[in-house]
Amino acid sequence: MEQKRTIVSTGALTEEEKSLTIEERDKILIDEMKSLGFLRDFRLLDKKDIPYRGDIRFEFDNGTIKFTELPNDCDILIFAISEEKVTILDNEWTDTDLKFGFPGRDFIRIPHPTIGTVYDLKALANDPSKVGFSGKGKRFYCDTIPTRHFYEKFDVSAINVMLLRDGYVYIEFFNMDCNSISFKFSEFYQNCLDVAVNTEPQLGELCLPRLENRTTIYHPILWLALSSQASIGVIDRNEGIFYAHSMFYFVPEAFGKNFVDINKAYNTSVHEDNLRRLTSLE
């Protein structure tokens, strides 16, 4: 079954909260986080409403590219290119919005892209010197924000674990082959879990064998264990729809063989960060 691109509201607000202002709801959420340490379960995404995350893979050869994977229902791709960075969008933008959102970049539109077709980006660009993609290689771009269709280059191996409503957990992994993952007490951070991949499970570890990518499982124990370190994101602030996730990165030079929650690595006070996220205008 293909994942949906849109989010369906599934009772993220109580009937009383629906009549409140955003500021009044913010106070409820802050008090909730302070007293419970996490959002109430019903405010999170339902398992049937998991955000669609598209993947873009292509091979490049001195300024030409050939797609090997594209998102579902992809009518257009826009490459926002600078000498330092390339961002890919899969929905139509006006020229004004592109210039405002990505100042100083060149824009290449590829309508109705298809797998296997070779596209010459230098021929399509206003400024061919910004195109890059010299030499030969492969690139993987991943949709980074559930409802906004921004694709950024993804070079590292990573595992994303989303906490859903009613004790369900959604697991996806990137740039890696993964037969099993084991959650274990972190060697680096207090009250935190790390992940080991394709290893023999050890005493005290929670192992998920024979795991397929983008799988939803019912696991309230894992849900509860990760809730103290999961980051909360806003999908629809007006409707009060949120998601919670831990993104585990493999950084061997810093953390050895384990995958470490990147938000925990950069922010030791995840709880305070979540309070800020809940009331920001994301």
Per-residue pLDDT reduced to its tens digit, 134-171: 889 999 998 876 556 788 888 888 999 999 999 999 99
Give the residue from 197, 176, 175, 204 showing the smallest Cα distance to 257: 197
Query: What six digits make up the tokens of 53?
Result: 């995350």
pTM comes to 0.80
* Structure-block tokens of residue 147: 């409802």
Quote the CA–CA distance of 233 and 242 in Å, as a whole number: 6
Q: What is the mean pLDDT of the chain?
A: 83
DSSP state of 103: T
In this prediction, residue 192 has a pLDDT band, given cuts at 50, 70 and 90, of confident
